[in-house]
Every structure is written in C-alpha cells, then in structure tokens.
Copies of this chain bind each other. A is one copy, B any other.
Amino acid sequence: MLAPEAVPCCPPLTSAELSEADAVTMAAMFKALGDPVRLRLFSKVASHEGGEACVCDIQDVGVSQPTVSHHLKKLREAGLLASERRGTWVYYRVEPSVLAGLAQLLDLNR
C-alpha cells in the first residue's frame, strides 16, 4: 500500500512538528506495530537468522493460521515486511529503509 521510497520522509519528532500528510504515513507504520501479535511476528522476522523467516518458522504466536496470515498482510501493506515465495514456502524479511525511517523519526542519533 505504501511506496517504500516514500519512507525516509521526516525529521526527528523533537525537531519539527509533522505535517498532516506525514503524520498519516508514519502513523500507519506505528499502527502496524501497535498490535502485540504483529509486533511479535515482526520481531521474529527481524531477529531470525539470515534476516528472513518462513511463515512456518514464526507462526507460533497463539493465534490461528488465518490470523497470522492476516497480520503478516498488514505488516506488508504498511511497508514493514516484504515477502517472497520460494517453492513451497513463503519467506518474509524486514524492509530495511522503513526501519531507518522510523529510527530517524524517533531520533536515535542522540
């Protein structure tokens, strides 16, 4: 849903207030991370060896398989994860530029 190139969009929150449009864009990403199940799925992908994980590796989060699929779709639509089918399995990996955008917004460079 969101173009990955549009991500490094905003100065740190502490330096200037967000425009209405930027707020919509960035809020969509925070919203995607704002569910415990989705955050755990994202965490499992982000911390998985090789930077990517098969759905089968991460789907033990206490909800049904359709729900897992639903949440992964939300994370994809928010631009946080990318997916690729290789044979039988589908692999997810973190979209690196997006994390950088979030980090910049929260001003990690102290």
Contact = CB atoms under 8 A, between A and B. Distances in A.
A47 B15 contact: yes
Interface in A59-97: 62, 94, 96
Contacts of A13: 42-43, 46-47
A5 interface: no
Q: How large is the interface on A (under 10, 10 to 19, 20 to 34, 35 or more residues)?
A: 35 or more
A14 to B, nearest CB: 5
Nearest to A48: B17
A34 B30 contact: yes
Interface of A: 13-18, 20, 23-24, 26-40, 42-44, 46-47, 62, 94, 96, 99-100, 102-103, 106-108
